[in-house]
Amino acid sequence: MSLYRDEAVVLRTWKLGEADRIVSLLTRDHGKVRGVAKGVRRTRSKFGARLEPTSHLAIQLYEGKSDLHTITQVETINRFVGLRSDPERFARAESMLEAVEQMAQDHAPEPEVHMMLWRALATLDADGPYFVSAAFFLKLLAHDGVQPELDRCIECGTGDALVSIDVVGGGVRCGKCRRGRPLGAAALSLLRRIYSGDLAAVLREKSSEAGAEVDLLATALLESHLERRLKSTAVISQSLPG
Ligand SMILES: [Zn+2]
């Protein structure tokens, strides 16, 4: 049992009883942590107002006997006011929080994911390029070891005339082996640029048809991965005693 300090992004909150709130946090050094903020719904407390989804915080928690830690102090690093004032940007931020909430493991520190998340939120907050959430999903998947094959057809191996992407199969397909979602040449080139580290330049681009295609594709890749993960988690929990 101990008191500790950390940095955290608020992923989700739930009501607990009459006055309390449970807060799901992605911390830098302690992974995903569920904390309880006591009494924050009884008054219009500043403490409670700081604990909103997307907020980037310096936080102090008390680790007791249960998995639910108690939040004892909160200071705001960034509330991301810009993205909160724009429904589209806020929806994109929420989808990023949801992806992390589902993928991050409890109490397993992943400082890189924590940094990716608050940086993506800051980028979305600053000028709101529409592409941030798609790029974030692709990087999050890559962090989890999932990266689609983009250079060769996953069926026959040719590098020519790649026209579709097979989300489940995990890569592109040529005209002869075509299956999955159609993929334009411009969208394929955009994807390759994201993975080759050209992300900053990609983020500065204006919206385009190829960008919209990659945007939808990133969500499809994430959903397919989460579905597989959720299924494998279900199998694991079924095999656990009790
Ligand atoms: Zn082929």
> Separation of 81 CA from ligand 1 center, angstroms?
48
> Separation of 174 CA from ligand 1 center, angstroms?
4
> Separation of 216 CA from ligand 1 center, angstroms?
23
> Separation of 187 CA from ligand 1 center, angstroms?
18
> Separation of 168 CA from ligand 1 center, angstroms?
16
The angle, 0 to 180 degrees and rounded to 10, between the axes of the packed helices 132-143 and 87-103 is 10
Q: Please, where in the chain does CATH 2.40.50.140 lie?
A: 2-86
Ion ligand 1 — residues with CB under 5 Å? 153, 155-156, 174, 177
> Separation of 162 CA from ligand 1 center, angstroms?
8
Q: What is the pTM of this model?
A: 0.87
> Separation of 154 CA from ligand 1 center, angstroms?
7
Give kind and range of the element (H or E) at residue 229. helix 209-239
Instruction: Tell me which amino acid residue 162 is.
Output: L
- pLDDT of the chain along its 242 residues, tens only? 699 999 999 999 999 888 899 999 999 999 999 999 988 877 667 777 889 999 999 999 999 888 899 999 999 999 999 998 988 889 999 999 999 999 998 889 999 999 999 999 999 998 766 788 899 999 999 998 999 999 999 999 999 999 999 999 999 999 999 999 999 999 999 999 988 877 777 877 777 888 889 999 999 999 999 887 656 555 555 555 54
What does DSSP say about strands 162-166 and 171-174: parallel, antiparallel, or unpaired?
antiparallel
CATH code for residues 2-86: 2.40.50.140
> Separation of 16 CA from ligand 1 center, angstroms?
54
Joined together, the tokens standing for residue 73 give 């102090």
